[in-house]
Amino acid sequence: MSQSRDDAAQVARVLAEALPYIRRFVGKTLVIKYGGNAMETDELKNSFARDVVLMKAVGINPVVVHGGGPQIGDLLNRLSIESHFIDGMRVTDAQTMDVVEMVLGGQVNKDIVNLINRHGGSAIGLTGKDAELIRAKKLTVTRQTPEMTKPEIIDIGHVGEVTGVNTDLLNMLVKGDFIPVIAPIGVGANGESYNINADLVAGKVAEALKAEKLMLLTNIAGLMDKQGQVLTGLTTEQVDSLIADGTIYGGMLPKIRCALEAVQGGVTSAHIIDGRVPNAVLLEIFTDIGVGTLITNRKHS
């Protein structure tokens, strides 16, 4: 009996700690980029779905943008279509674009929608082509080396960047108590499809919605200093300094720049959180400690 009381007391403490955060975020929109390690085990998938359903149940409005690079790679391998990458981006010819749409807009999107719905939510799956949700244009990639007189323009196919977001559609769904789940496929001016990095789509959706938070799930504990300690509570100026002194480099740079652009574009805060931790989203939102790096546009006093 005493053990049961201890368990009950722990639940009460958790709820008491969460209550101020719930009050603060009721009615606010949170955009969550879901992918990578958080998609890899049934435990983490179910944990994520429960987190999203609970957020909606207490009056917070989650909008999910998902990736699916590994799943795309798996199907391309099974179809004997070779993958090429330039600067971390998948070269996407017409044949590869067909596979991208099939995997992201079909398999992955519907799996996430189904999972959220099975946990009591009302999720609706979308690609950027639905009602021109994500308008896009072809991404121009250039490369410059010291011996070159001018930059080389590299064609990486149907890879795009966001030019606009149909917020009317998203606001209608959110007000109808639905949870939008968005595959990062954009549509061009002539109806062509574009493969877009999911972090970038999540950032632009968060900016367009003036979201309270942008949450990027990743496979590390957060942004770390040179001693391996997780940094949090950072301003945009501090992040710029960490980039300049080489603390932030390599594969983390695009994610950090996405977070920076979002807060500079009107999002209150961006979070880079460890998607390998069960209930990572709830821990970051509703606890004092959190499980990642928080970046805001606020100045230190």
Q: Is 246 exposed, middle or buried (0-12, 13-18, 19+ CB in 10 A)?
A: exposed
195 annotated among ligand-binding-site residues? yes
This prediction's pTM: 0.87
Sign of CA pseudo-dihedral 76, 80, 81, 84: positive
Residue reference for tokens 């308008």: 135
pLDDT at 146: 66
Whether residue 68 is annotated as binding a ligand: the answer is: yes
Q: What is the pLDDT of residue 301?
A: 39
Using the Cα atoms of residue 11, residue 13, residue 18 and residue 20 in order, give the sign of their dihedral. Answer: positive
As a CATH number, domain 30-296 is 3.40.1160.10
Task: State residue 300's pLDDT score.
Answer: 46
Q: According to the annotation, is 228 in a ligand binding site?
A: no
Q: Are 201 and 209 in contact (CB under 8 A)?
A: no
Q: Are 202 and 33 in contact (CB under 8 A)?
A: yes
Using CA atoms, how far apart are residues 67 and 254, in angstroms rounded to an integer?
Answer: 15
69 carries a ligand binding annotation: yes
Neighbours of 226 (CB within 10 A): 9
Would you say how long the chain is, in residues? 301
pLDDT of residue 255: 79
Phi, psi dihedrals of residue 231, rounded to the nearest 5°: -100, 140
Look up residue 31 and give its two tokens. 């955009």
What are the per-10-residue average pLDDT scores of the chain (301 residues)?
61 72 88 82 89 92 92 90 81 89 93 95 95 93 66 79 95 95 95 93 95 86 64 70 70 77 88 83 74 68 39
Compute and round to an integer the Cα radius of gyration of the chain: 20
What are the residues whose beta carbons fall under 8 Å from the beta carbon of 127, sequence distance 6 or more?
A: 101, 104, 105, 109, 133, 134, 182, 183, 185
